[in-house]
């Protein structure tokens, strides 16, 4: 059992070990929870996925661009959301800060979608974007919503060989703002009601 004074001592360590948003969907959410910062999420995705790319990407080479697509619903690859478009924008901005040439594209203009097969990158589609643009990678993103839990997956793909150069997945508990971006809202908790005690067996027999 953790006594109150010990709980107070543990609070600073909680802040050191995780961000406040990590405490959403836990018993500590009402006390220490926080909103999701999509700018920070976009920055983290960009840093993670470029830092682990193999072979490494080439920053500060204007002839090697990265295409960043909108993030789409994994259950309907033709559907996106306000969040999906914002992630595209934030990730693109971060990649520019890292020194990459970035071109944001509409997913449907760059990729051929097969609902039962997932994404298929067609090298011939690149000619529809810019015949003079050399592309070293395309950043794809999908998301899935389950109650308040948001799952995000990002991939860097070679547009010619179709190899996955890097991939990362994330799990978040959505705040009210993120829920609203998907047309959802948090379920209101019903107040606890005290149930009357059940009738005893003796009462049922003799009365």
What pTM was computed for the model? 0.71
Any domain includes 196 = no
Q: Which residues contact 181 (CB under 8 A, 6 or more apart)?
A: 81, 82, 83, 86
- Do 90 and 129 belong together in one domain? yes
- Do 71 and 24 belong together in one domain? no
The domain total for the chain is 2
Torsion of CA 97, 80, 52, 134, to 10 degrees: -70
Closest C-alpha to 73, from 122, 121, 119, 141: 141
- Do 121 and 178 belong together in one domain? yes
Any domain includes 138 = yes
User: Per residue in 95-108, pLDDT tens?
Assistant: 999 999 998 776 54
Residue 84 has pLDDT above 60, yes or no: yes
Any domain includes 192 = no
- Do 66 and 121 belong together in one domain? yes
Any domain includes 143 = yes
| CATH number assigned to the domain comprising residue 156 | 3.40.50.10610
User: Per residue in 17-51, pLDDT tens?
Assistant: 455 656 657 555 555 555 789 999 999 999 999 99
Any domain includes 206 = no
Residue 202 has pLDDT above 70, yes or no: no
In this structure, what are the phi and psi dihedrals at residue 86, rounded to the nearest 5 degrees?
A: -65, -40
Any domain includes 5 = yes
Q: What is the pLDDT of residue 176?
A: 87
DSSP track, 89-150:
HHHHHHHHHTT-EEEEE-HHHHEEEETTTEEEE-GGGGGGT-TT--EEEEEEEEEEEETTEE
- Do 58 and 140 belong together in one domain? yes
- Do 2 and 76 belong together in one domain? no
Any domain includes 198 = no
Any domain includes 203 = no
State which residues form the domain around 137: 35-185
């Amino acid at each position: 059992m953790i006594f109150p004074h010990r709980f107070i001592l543990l609070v600073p360590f909680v802040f050191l070990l995780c961000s406040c948003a990590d405490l959403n969907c836990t018993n500590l959410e009402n006390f220490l929870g926080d909103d999701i910062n999509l700018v920070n999420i976009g920055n983290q995705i960009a840093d993670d996925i470029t830092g682990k790319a193999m072979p490494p990407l080439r920053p500060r080479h204007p002839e090697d661009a990265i295409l960043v697509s909108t993030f789409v619903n994994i259950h309907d690859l033709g559907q996106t959301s306000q969040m999906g478009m914002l992630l595209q924008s934030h990730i693109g901005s971060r990649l520019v800060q890292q020194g990459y040439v970035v071109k944001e594209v509409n997913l449907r203009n760059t990729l051929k979608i097969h609902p039962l097969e997932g994404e298929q990158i067609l090298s011939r589609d690149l000619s529809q974007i810019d015949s003079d643009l050399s592309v070293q990678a395309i950043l794809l993103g999908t998301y899935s919503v389950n109650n308040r839990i948001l799952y995000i997956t990002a991939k860097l793909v070679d547009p010619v060989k179709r190899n996955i150069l890097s991939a990362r997945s994330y799990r978040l508990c959505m705040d009210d703002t993120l829920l609203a971006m998907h047309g959802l809202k948090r379920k209101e908790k019903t107040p606890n009601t005290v149930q009357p005690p059940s009738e005893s067996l003796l009462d049922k027999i003799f009365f």
